[in-house]
Structure 1
Amino acid sequence: MEYIRITSIDNPLFRAMHDLMKEVFPPEEVLEYSLWKEPLEDPGIRVFVAVHEGKVVGTTEYRYYDDFQVAMTDFTIIGQAGLGIGRFLARKRWADLAALALESGKPMLGMFAEIYDPYRIEGHAFGGVKPMDPYVRREVLSHLGYKRIDFPYVHPSWENNGEAVEELDLCFLPTDDEAAELDAAIVVEFLKRYYAVLANKPQAWHDMVAGLEQRTALALLPL
């Protein structure tokens, strides 16, 4: 299996990757095809596909913010069971992030991820791919060490229509497995930067951020 970075919408592998995203994710979670041009060309956004026998069977997007020493996993898609795609992507991604942290000269504190709450997203089949089932994914990510950040989370729809998406939890994988809380200021700065690209944010998102700005620390809870 190959781990190949995508940096242009003209790469034929990107069409296969985008089709896979549309098959697996709800519409509000998928950025329109042409809008991917700038993100793919951004050196700070890392989009990779897993290619098996010439076919895109998985993909992951992530980024590293070296100024406050955290990463964000935008998404991970496993397109087929029985190939070890999830482990392959997780190991390759972590190795890449470790190299980026080493290059920055500062240790990585951990990695954010938005993780579906299976009890709030039961109506979506996720392409019928069992490894993408939200119950399965949540347990796998718990095994990896992700913890739920203790606050009610909403995020702006990637359709940029001002709608609030409420079926996910914001989670964090600390490099210190014993960490029980996270600096609230890091969460606020991360959210502001991460969603700066979306002009139409719902009022619920602004209210959430305002509330977080009044906090000093947020508990990290088991998934």
Structure 2
Amino acid sequence: WINDFGAVPESVQPLLSPNSKKSPLDIINPPRVSHGWLGMYTTQDPKSAFTKLSSRTQLMTMLKDLIDKYEGEDLNIIVCGHSLGAALAAVCAFDVAENFTSDIPVSAFLYCCPQVGNKAFRDRFESHPNLKAISIRNELDVVPRVPGYVLGYVDLGTMIEVDTRVSPYLKKTKNRGDYHNLQAVLHAVNGWHGEKGVFEPRIQRSLALVNKSSGLLKEEYEVP
């Protein structure tokens, strides 16, 4: 997905509701997101051996089926993702609130999410009363800080920043990939009590998960 960082921000016009009100600012500075994120979400693939439908079409079809199935119940829609998946989750959550429902609460949990769009997109995102986003990132992870403000991108959602270096269970590392590791970040969230707080896990969560795709756990825990 790193190839998408060089993409010029693209208008989210394909995702805007035809019934939405437009302001003069929408013409001067329309809501934009990365061309890569938008393309991944909306593009169909007629040559795919698995499905020719776009992610957007698949999602909306599934949501409609689920809402029909649980009609009359107290519903919430929650989307989450990590890294590229977090960027797509943000676009998806916006689309659901913009076009699918204004009544059902929609929440997006974005882990280590690269910046998705410009300020106009963030303003449009935040204009939906039923739509909220929480962005969780590691202090030393560079991914949530790109493509960057120079290209017009901004952060999205309420920010929760943790620091995996605080954990007494993890090795010291200078590997940038380790700072972006989902399981390490989830481990940090579990034990995080603020910058000045003592690291103390809140729930029982297997330490072995940290080494699912890394070797970050200290050797004394004997997890390969």
TM-score by length of 2: 0.28
> Which is strand-richer, 1 or 2?
1
The structure whose RCO (Cα within 8 Å, separation 6+) is larger is 1
